Structure 1
Amino acid sequence: MATDIATRELRNPIDLVEYLFRRVYEVGVRTVHGVPGDYNLTALDYLPKCGLNWAGNCNELNAGYATDGYARVNGIGALVTTFGVGELSAINAIAGAYSEYVPIIHIVGQPNTRSQKDGKLLHHTLGNGDFNVFTRMNAEISCCVARLDDPHEAPTLIDNAIRECFIRSRPVLITLPTDVVMRKVEGERLKKPIDLTQPQNDAEKEDYVVEVVMKYLQQAKNPVILVDACAIRHRVLDEVHDFVQRSGLPTFVAPMGKGAVNETHRNYGGVYAGSGSNAGVREQVESSDLILSIGAIKSDFNTAGFTYRIGQLNAIDFHSNLVRVRYSEYPNIHMKGVLRKMIQRLGDLKLSAPEVPPLSNRLPDEEKHSTDKTITHKWFWPMIGQWLKENDIVITETGTANFGIWETRFPPGVTAISQVLWGSIGYSVGACQGAAAAAKEQNNRRTILFVGDGSFQLTVQELSTMIMNKLNPIIFVICNEGYTIERYIHGWNASYNDIQQWDFKGIPSVFGAGSQYKGYQVKSRAELTDLFADDTFCSAPYLQLVEVYMPKEDAPVAMRTTAEASAAQNRK
């Protein structure tokens, strides 16, 4: 009776799960990833009604990777798993999204609230009556947890969780017990969109920080800009673009910041990663008397084994929650407002910044004049830069591809996806499925994956999901006989770095691709050059997979440098 009375008091009663999914749609999600399970099945029935497509992944780990890739292209993603077995299968992917600031709304279908309260011995539990253990695990890798146990509180909790996910650019967990899925909530709230605006900085404090930063900038003789991943994740690329354009300062990106800057801009100088950088980039950045570092993540692989040579005395760091000027830190100041005010004051600068020599994906001289037919990394990655198109989505797997792409100069509008910090092998194949789904929603942008043969074997099932959803990425599998980056770190001839050789280009046919697929095998430079000249191949009309054969011992120079540093770190 109490429930009936409460429902009659609602002006526009709708089912709780419909409210949840309509909010998910409102923030831009169109494809939801995940795996069905008995605790989320009723909820999944509501997806079509709310305008949402179901990707239908092969397992939860892949679904988590796919949601990560989707979110990096779309701006936010949503994942649905079932209690215990499903959410724990996805937890590695969610941890990666947390570490790399990727906004994922993770919805977990749970047993009904009465069973949880009574501690019943249900399947998918540990058998000890503790129904909160998995939520506690997920809480460590979520910036907000919303337990939808009470329908009266649920809309507020949903709105807050989605806002936190977007603003803080990190995963959130929403638990959805089976007995609240169809409970009624107030639908009138949907008329007012969730407020996703960034909280404003304290005006007086922000003005002071801008004044301090501008003072050092005006005094600098050869300042440079260094852009990293959090500039992308915390949505300040418009400010970065305007700052680069207006200042005329030499601009570089860290590996995780690849794609954050228009690489055809005359200011752009390349990728800086300490000793992993090319000599010209390294000299210009490290000789600067002021580095304006925007959104830095100074992890080992992002700095080529902590080989940055940037002293804090010569640095100003801009972040989502603070600005650090030399050794002075100003907390609770978001970089967006500071950068915008700096742009407005750039007219006061009296800088004569040197132009950065243009890069054009030129082959190294030793490769340009080589008669060797073998495909090498030094040859391959500049050629990729010549082949890429404007607005492509480029995904690179942990290992040779992640480091090789440093030597590729992107056309305008390219989105780069890699998992440099978390570095979970196999991430890129799932991420490719999610990115391709988002690309299909964005006028079918071309999606391109570069993945090693070893990494590919971990998550190959997502080819099936791509085929089922009629996605059309171009996948390059680098065939070099196993885990190259691990070989360089330790165990060059160890059997644990070997893999079983597969017929990679034959796998999509096993998954039912039929005529909407074509596979290729290239073992020479001429074969790859011919493929790049094929208009049908380049137009990406359907899923295509290319086996690219490279020598086992070959690797990008930056990867070798980083692997040596990682090995040395492991020995300490």
Structure 2
Amino acid sequence: MSSTDIATQELKNPVDVAEYLFRRLHEVGIRAVHGVPGDYNLSALDYLPKCGLDWVGNCNELNAGYAADGYARVKGISAVITTFGVGELSALNAIAGAYSEFVPVVHIVGQPTTQSQKDGMLLHHTLGNGDFDVFTKMSAGISCYVAKLNDPHDAATLIDSAIRECWIRSRPVYVTLPTNMVYAKVNGDRLKTPIDLSSPKNDPEKEDYVVDVVLKYLHAAKNPVILVDACAIRHRALEEVHDLVEASGLPTFVTPMGKGAVNESHKNFGGVYAGDGSNAGVREVVESSDLILSIGAIKSDFNTAGFTYRIGQLKTIDFHSNYVRVRYSEYPDINMRGVLRKVVQQMNKLNVTAIPPINNALPQSEKTSTDQTITHAWLWPTVGQWLKENDIVLTETGTANFGIWDTRFPANVTAISQVLWGSIGYALGSCQGAALAAKELQNRRTILFIGDGSLQLTVQELSTMLRNKLNPIVFVICNEGYTIERYIHGWDATYNDIQPWDHVNIPKVFGATDGYKGYRIKTRDEVHKLFAEPSFNESDSLRLVELYMPRDDAPAALKLTADAAAARNK
């Protein structure tokens, strides 16, 4: 009898590794797994149904990674399965984006057997040099934890640790699953105890000290403001942020990456701050403030309209998941959630200044215009008038990412974009994952704005949406190519041009049935008519809109940021 058989006999409740892994994924809220089948992961996929997980089945691994990213931004965590080498490398761009933007994705890679790896066999999907660890090393730099399930004795522990790290640190983890380990046995009794997903507690004495320091400056400030960014969302501090906004009464602003973090219908909400690209009146209020409570900041170029912030560290308190910085004093190993909670509890009356009014009103020049051309200055406030509470709104890198700054959301809208990583084509794949998550949650519309150039990179995911009976509204901005690239460099260069597509009929090529509806919209009146159509607003099927806009039109914030990027590139 082998040592493995003896070890299995010693287990009171033996469970296969694959079942253990998938039941843990189900436990943390995942209900569907993205990916592409390959011979090194096929046997593992057989376990999905018995663990309550649906298989999505994407058109390629890159799209699967994007979709897992979008799913995680709605549900809190996600999983994607690829095969060894060829599959996992195709997903790496998407995983890198999730790492960059703090999105928790469990990346599971089906591998050859542990014995094949030890023997250095010349197998397909390898580099032909016997090195089976090379791809793991590639993923290690864009994962916060690596779990190599090569031994049943520690497999369950590694799985639990990987999922915990993914959740707590809100970044991808990498899990290898050799084909022989799929059937290896682990202690199933562990499943009776849920994984501990609670954040490490702050040291009470240190936390109290930091709270006292924050309150000292907050009470002394004459015109403090709150500025909320993406990591407040990613590190699950929104409840504390909302309580702070409500209790303080302070003017509250979001960054582009922080869109959706604050209820934009709240009386304290003042708009988007992005340096020179800010909403009207916002820059003056934020930059004249003597204390900025900056929560979860990511001060990247696109998030700051080309580094045009004018707020110094001397009047800023930064709250993060693992440190708090008060002016130039940094307090490490302190989670912002505990600090914010106590600040709210101990906060007395503050000095509150006026909040700039913000709405979805059109600029005066657009109000009085009789032109039927759909411009960005007209479109994005109009979109804000059409959106509903609880919508999920995705915007692609390019004009849409910048245009949405001028849309004031109703309450509880989730905004998804990839402002930092900025991989063109991300949003369509992400839309599939977000729409699937919305279907699981029910009663949430998923709406995508994507350029005609970006769409061409990941258009196959329309097929996955149809296959999974998803019903997003997809707006394809038809403006003859890569407008954001044109503004950076090569205005008339052929490399910024694309082949025009018949977008409305693409879903039919992918097998869309009679339930699918496509639209070609070229005037403002047609937009208003479309937005008022009940069957367009609520449908069980995919809707795709060709939205025609001038090639040379772009949101003002994009023009500013593109100019800054062009200057840096020189």
The TM tier, using the shorter chain, reads over 0.9
CA–CA distance in 2 between the matches of 1:509 and 1:97?
31
Q: Which residue of 1 aligns with 2:138?
A: 137
Alignment of 1:397-436 (within 5 A): 397-436=396-435
Conserved 8 A contact 1:429-1:449? yes
The one-character-per-residue Cα deviations of 1:298-342 (angstroms, maximum 9, x if unpaired) are 000000011100100010000001000000000000000000000
CA–CA distance in 2 between the matches of 1:364 and 1:466?
36
Q: Tell me which amino acid in the other structure corresponds to 1:433.
A: Q
- Secondary structure in structure 2 of the residue aligned to 1:395: strand
Q: Tell me which amino acid in the other structure corresponds to 1:500.
A: Q
Matched, 1:363 2:362: yes
The one-character-per-residue Cα deviations of 1:144-175 (angstroms, maximum 9, x if unpaired) are 00000001100000000000000000000000
Conserved 8 A contact 1:453-1:478? yes
Conserved 8 A contact 1:226-1:292? yes
Give 1:516 shift.
2.1
Which sits farther off after the overlay, 55-64 or 271-280?
271-280
Which stretches in structure 2 are left out of the alignment for 5+ residues?
A: none
Give 1:243 shift.
0.1
Give 1:343 shift.
0.5
CA–CA distance in 1 between the matches of 2:437 and 2:490?
39
Q: Which residue of 1 aligns with 2:463?
A: 464
Matched, 1:266 2:284: no
Q: Which residue of 2 aligns with 1:314?
A: 315
CA–CA distance in 2 between the matches of 1:530 and 1:542?
19
CA RMSD of aligned residues (A): 0.6
- TM-score, with structure 1 as normaliser: 0.99
The one-character-per-residue Cα deviations of 1:246-285 (angstroms, maximum 9, x if unpaired) are 0000000000000000000011000000011134000000
The one-character-per-residue Cα deviations of 1:87-146 (angstroms, maximum 9, x if unpaired) are 000000000000000000000000000110010100000011000000000000000000
Q: Tell me which amino acid in the other structure corresponds to 2:358.
A: L
Q: Tell me which amino acid in the other structure corresponds to 2:403.
A: G
Q: Which residue of 1 aligns with 2:169?
A: 168
Conserved 8 A contact 1:262-1:411? yes
Matched, 1:570 2:562: no
Matched, 1:82 2:77: no
The one-character-per-residue Cα deviations of 1:412-444 (angstroms, maximum 9, x if unpaired) are 010000000000000000000000000000014
The one-character-per-residue Cα deviations of 1:445-500 (angstroms, maximum 9, x if unpaired) are 10000000000000000000000000000000000000000000000000000000
- Structure 1 residue ranges (4+ consecutive) displaced by more than 4 angstroms after TM superposition: none
CA–CA distance in 2 between the matches of 1:22 and 1:278?
46
Conserved 8 A contact 1:266-1:358? no
Give 1:71 shift.
0.1
Q: Tell me which amino acid in the other structure corresponds to 1:369.
A: T
Q: Tell me which amino acid in the other structure corresponds to 2:89.
A: L
Matched, 1:327 2:328: yes
Q: Which residue of 2 aligns with 1:181?
A: 182
Q: Which residue of 2 aligns with 1:384?
A: 383
Q: Which residue of 2 aligns with 1:344?
A: 345
Matched, 1:117 2:133: no
Conserved 8 A contact 2:395-2:404? yes
- Secondary structure in structure 1 of the residue aligned to 2:271: strand
CA–CA distance in 2 between the matches of 1:47 and 1:355?
54
- Secondary structure in structure 1 of the residue aligned to 2:250: coil
Give 1:358 shift.
3.3
The one-character-per-residue Cα deviations of 1:392-417 (angstroms, maximum 9, x if unpaired) are 00000000000000000000010000
CA–CA distance in 1 between the matches of 2:199 and 2:543?
41
- Secondary structure in structure 2 of the residue aligned to 1:363: coil
Q: Which residue of 1 aligns with 2:242?
A: 241
Which stretches in structure 1 are left out of the alignment for 5+ residues?
A: none
Alignment of 1:170-569 (within 5 A): 170-346=171-347, 348-349=348-349, 351-569=350-568
Conserved 8 A contact 2:373-2:522? yes
Q: Tell me which amino acid in the other structure corresponds to 1:556.
A: P
Conserved 8 A contact 2:480-2:497? yes
- Secondary structure in structure 1 of the residue aligned to 2:477: strand
Q: Tell me which amino acid in the other structure corresponds to 2:6.
A: I
CA–CA distance in 2 between the matches of 1:316 and 1:3?
55
Give 1:354 shift.
2.6
Give 1:344 shift.
0.1
- Secondary structure in structure 2 of the residue aligned to 1:153: helix
Aligned residue pairs, count? 569
- TM-score, with structure 2 as normaliser: 0.99
Give 1:566 shift.
0.6
Q: Which residue of 2 aligns with 1:40?
A: 41
Q: Tell me which amino acid in the other structure corresponds to 1:54.
A: W
- Secondary structure in structure 2 of the residue aligned to 1:120: coil
